Structure 1
Amino acid sequence: MSKFLAASFAVLIFVVATLAHTPRYTKRSNPSEYAVLGNILQVLDENGLTTFLDLAFKTGVAETFEANISPLLGIPLFAPTNDAFADLDPNQFNNLLNNPQKLKALINYHTNSHLPQIISAIKVEANFLRTNERTVQETGASNEPIRYNKYGKEGEILTVNGALRLKTLNASNGVIYVIDRVLEIPPLVNSFFEVLKRNGNFTILLAAFTDVGFVSRVTTGPFTLFAPTDAAFKRLPHDVLGYYFTHPDEFLVEVIRNHWVSGTFYSRGLTNGPIPVFSGGTVDVGVSSGGITFGGANVIKADLTSTQGVVHVIDEVILKTNKNMADAYDYPDNNKQRFY
């Protein structure tokens, strides 16, 4: 054997041996290389989204992320950070780990990967950036609603069911939207009224809806509801509360409309200042490091996703609005007509 052939054979043996012992995910000095070269699994690993990656392997969903398909028709993936999983209630997380079926459904809900191109990476990004459109509702795993919202002057704040999109990562077979919370799978029947029934402590508000006929007359939305708890109603003087309920068409209906807003405003979309409500006036919103207020009431639980929009729970009933501010806003009559 010539020296040239012997040297070539030695190089070939070295290359084969090296490939055979190459780790599944090779770390790169420049993570951005994965935007072109890596598949979804590699991009998740390189960017430290390891909890989601481990759960994807645990449930078998990871096999889908190895598909060799065009990124334009690829897998749109919503990947919570490790901190987002750490923020889950420990008991809730352990229950998920011990229930393979629920855990797989949760991971699938974050992928939409098994749908026949209902949501493509390019379509999701286009929905995020579309001009003059606040809310886009698409269909996720098992037909649950997924809401993509843009907020801010330039639409720079992007949310998925209220979770903040921290950044976008491109992969060879799809796109990854890194989000700051784990998405919950909403039930298929998930109107505002169903949300309130499941969360409890809203019997008085639900009774008010029934008295004024809103349960059967409110349409799909999208709306934002600031929902006072039973405790909030009970803090009203007894005679005041009784008066409203004995005059539903005159006064109770207006009080309820004080809590409804046109459009889907998750907590990330709320800013300081007045916001128009369906009673015709405006209510002041306050946003600070200490929390969110609506007409002086504290938002004690935010971002309950519904098929009709989003619900924020508040600790006071809003009896009055800034009526004198109503004329400063373009508040179309057709919004009111489709509400009641």
Structure 2
Amino acid sequence: MKFTRTRTLTAVSAVALLGLAACNSEPATPETDAMEPAATDMTTPAADGTIVTVAQGNSDFSTLVSAVQAADLVETLNGPGPFTVFAPTNAAFDKIPAETRTSLMEPAQKEALSGILTYHVVPGRVDAAALTQQIEQGGGSATLTTVQGGTLTATVVDGTVTLTDAAGNTSKVVMTDVAASNGVIHAIDTVVMPN
């Protein structure tokens, strides 16, 4: 997607203010398995390539890749980043009614789709250990500001990192630390929605 100058400056500001602070130090690996992925049949894709390239290499992200293309976000997510993407799996997208999914993929809905997708992106490289540390330091929760401008709340529920969106809906992290040259991907089981 070709951001307007304001949107680009907003994204860059968000990276400078939030994301880089999380990336400047290597946190110690906590003695917790809170970020261990839930049992899943997904295989971790190759660690080389950009976020888009890595997602394209995993068939469980094919709906996400199609949505990124429809929203014209490929160039952005191929950019230098770094980005942390909470990537909905195909099964996560299947939870959305088919009519809604089809509607969002239409050119007239490009801005709405872009808003939903960028709500899944956090500036900076926040790996599982760093996110777990943020949750612990936050007394059991961490607030993540997304590129879209909204927030997600990360907590640990029954040993699994769970994201809560603006409407109070939750999504579980089912796979962590899929490395890309410009960030990291964590797979989630439900699409989160901004206000």
TM range (shorter): 0.5 to 0.7
Change (3 A) 1:233 1:285: same
TM-score, reference length from structure 1: 0.40
What amino acid is aligned across from residue 135 of structure 1 in structure 2? C
Deviation of residue 274 (structure 1)?
Answer: 2.0
5 Å-filtered alignment, 1:151-190, equals 157-158=27-28, 164=29, 186-187=47-48, 190=49
Q: Which has the higher contact order (CA 8 A, sep 6+)?
A: 2
Deviation of residue 278 (structure 1)?
Answer: 1.2
5 Å-filtered alignment, 1:222-233, equals 222-233=82-93
Superposed CA RMSD in Å reads 2.3
What amino acid is aligned across from residue 172 of structure 2 in structure 1? N
Matched, 1:307 2:181: yes
> Could you give the per-residue CA deviations for residues 98-122 of structure 1, whole angstroms, max 9, x where no partner exists?
xxxxxxxxxxxxxxxxxxxxxxxxx
Deviation of residue 206 (structure 1)?
Answer: 0.3
Matched, 1:217 2:76: yes
- Further displaced range: 225-234 or 195-204: 195-204
User: 1:201 is paired with a residue of what secondary structure?
Assistant: helix
Structure 1 stretches of 4+ with a deviation exceeding 6 A read none
Instruction: Select which of 214, 228, 234 maps to 2:94.
Output: 234
User: 2:60 is paired with a residue of what secondary structure?
Assistant: coil
User: What residue number does 2:163 align with?
Assistant: 294
Larger proportion of helix: 1
Q: Which runs of 5+ in 1 are unaligned?
A: 1-131, 137-148, 151-156, 159-163, 167-183, 322-340
* CA distance in structure 2 between the aligned counterparts of 1:205 and 1:255, rounded to whole angstroms: 11
Change (3 A) 1:317 1:165: closer
TM-score, reference length from structure 2: 0.68
What amino acid is aligned across from residue 193 of structure 1 in structure 2? V
Aligned residue pairs: how many? 148
* CA distance in structure 1 between the aligned counterparts of 2:183 and 2:156, rounded to whole angstroms: 20
What amino acid is aligned across from residue 23 of structure 2 in structure 1? T
Checking the alignment, whether the CA contact within 8 Å between 1:264 and 1:309 is kept in structure 2 is yes
Matched, 1:243 2:103: yes
* CA distance in structure 2 between the aligned counterparts of 1:316 and 1:249, rounded to whole angstroms: 20
Change (3 A) 1:194 1:292: same
* CA distance in structure 2 between the aligned counterparts of 1:245 and 1:185, rounded to whole angstroms: 27
Change (3 A) 1:207 1:274: same
Deviation of residue 279 (structure 1)?
Answer: 1.2
Deviation of residue 242 (structure 1)?
Answer: 1.8
Checking the alignment, whether the CA contact within 8 Å between 1:304 and 1:312 is kept in structure 2 is yes
* CA distance in structure 2 between the aligned counterparts of 1:185 and 1:282, rounded to whole angstroms: 29
Deviation of residue 267 (structure 1)?
Answer: 1.1
Checking the alignment, whether the CA contact within 8 Å between 2:23 and 2:126 is kept in structure 1 is no
* CA distance in structure 2 between the aligned counterparts of 1:287 and 1:308, rounded to whole angstroms: 26
Deviation of residue 185 (structure 1)?
Answer: 8.1
User: What residue number does 1:274 align with?
Assistant: 143
Structure (1 or 2) with the larger CA radius of gyration: 1
Deviation of residue 211 (structure 1)?
Answer: 1.2
What amino acid is aligned across from residue 124 of structure 2 in structure 1? G
Q: Which runs of 5+ in 2 are unaligned?
A: 1-19, 32-44, 136-140, 165-169
Instruction: Select which of 92, 107, 116 maps to 1:255.
Output: 116
